[in-house]
Amino acid sequence: MAKPLFRGVCASSVTPFHSDGSLWLERLQPHIDWLIAEGVNAISPLGSSGEFPALECADRRRVLEAAIGAVGGRVPVVAGTHDYSTARTIELSRFAEQCGADALLIVPPYYMAPTPLQVMDHYRRIAEQVSIPILVYHNIPLTSVDLTTEHLLQLFEEGAIAGVKMSHPEPDRQCQLLQAAEGRFAVYAGIDTAAFEGLCHGSHGWISGIPSTVPRPARRLYDLIAVDGNLPAARELWTQLAPLMRLQFQAYHSRGEGAHWFSTMKAALNMIGPPVGDPQAPIRPLPPQHRETLAKMLRNLGYQISDQ
């Protein structure tokens, strides 16, 4: 694995769309410039926030090339190259490496619910075709695949993966993995509901909604815990960030009504940063009843709200 993995907060850059659903790639550069100015340690295009399931492979290539070009080497790029098909995942992964990605983020094959052993073979086959590090995007609710700590350690020992984005709502899954890994490979907090605990347990960084929506306070929280060891100040900051986390994950946790995490994210980015457009259908823009609540939370975090 030629390139070291980052430490800190990683923003999952969004994919801007016009109102007709076509790619709005001209908005990608200002969006990424804003994220970097906010202090992120890395950028991950085409994670969940990049709406990769809504894109054909050709458009995924366009987004990856444009995003890597927009970053321009200023911070590491962890490219999302997920696909159900192993062959297409390899194709996208090789393309991302050729474009200059520093690492790959790959969710397990979804929908068909392959067995853990089949999923492990998926990662092995990808690793044979690229030379940059691979992060497993561990996301049981959206893939129906649960690679255990033992599975993940085996893949690491074989050289197939270099780390894990752990999007598990139970903080102990991060803690268990960190304790078993003993610092040998990277573990990232992958869901905001378990981020504070994960960072306190020693996770290498944080890749989720809050770092992608309000990167400046997310970076501050990481530094307070991981760099300064100032837990009282970190708790105080998390008290300000937690309401945003709870709003974002209303519908996700209830499996029903409430604000959708991605509708909330794009609405927030349009309020405080360069415009990025609305989500692709079936995800809809954030309903009006949640917008003022969101705006108030963003003001409380020190952001100015635009009129757009």
pLDDT band at 306 (very low <50, low <70, confident <90, very high): confident
The pLDDT value recorded for residue 307 is 61
Rounded Cα–Cα distance for residues 202 and 182 (Å): 10
Rounded Cα–Cα distance for residues 164 and 137 (Å): 6
Looking at residue 17, the DSSP 8-state letter turns out to be B
* Gyration radius from the chain CA atoms: 18
Asked whether residue 210 carries a pLDDT value surpassing 70, the answer given is: yes
List of residues 6+ apart from 183 with CB closer than 8 A? none
| Contact (CB, 8 A) for 186 and 134 | no
Tell me which of 2 and 289 has the higher pLDDT. 289
pLDDT band at 3 (very low <50, low <70, confident <90, very high): low
Q: Where are the domains of the chain?
A: 8-230
Asked whether residue 1 carries a pLDDT value surpassing 50, the answer given is: no
Mean pLDDT across 184-188: 95
pLDDT band at 129 (very low <50, low <70, confident <90, very high): very high
pLDDT band at 9 (very low <50, low <70, confident <90, very high): very high
Asked whether residue 257 carries a pLDDT value surpassing 90, the answer given is: no
Q: Dihedral of CA 141/178/46/151: which sign?
A: negative
Query: Side chain identity at 167, as an amino acid letter?
Result: S
Rounded Cα–Cα distance for residues 101 and 95 (Å): 9
Rounded Cα–Cα distance for residues 137 and 129 (Å): 19
Mean of all residue pLDDT scores within the chain: 95
Structure tokens at 260: 């959708």
Rounded Cα–Cα distance for residues 228 and 8 (Å): 13
Fold of 8-230: TIM Barrel (3.20.20)
The pLDDT value recorded for residue 173 is 95
Asked whether residue 139 carries a pLDDT value surpassing 80, the answer given is: yes
Q: Is 307 left (phi over 0), alpha (psi -120 to 50) or beta?
A: alpha
Asked whether residue 70 carries a pLDDT value surpassing 70, the answer given is: yes
The pLDDT value recorded for residue 256 is 73
Q: Which long-range contacts (CB under 8 A, 24 or more apart) does 248-256 make?
A: 248/192, 248/209, 248/210, 248/213, 249/192, 249/193, 249/209, 253/169, 253/193
Residues with a catalytic annotation lie at: 137, 165
Tell me which of 308 and 255 has the higher pLDDT. 255
**Could you tell me the pTM of the whole model?**
0.96
Asked whether residue 84 carries a pLDDT value surpassing 90, the answer given is: yes
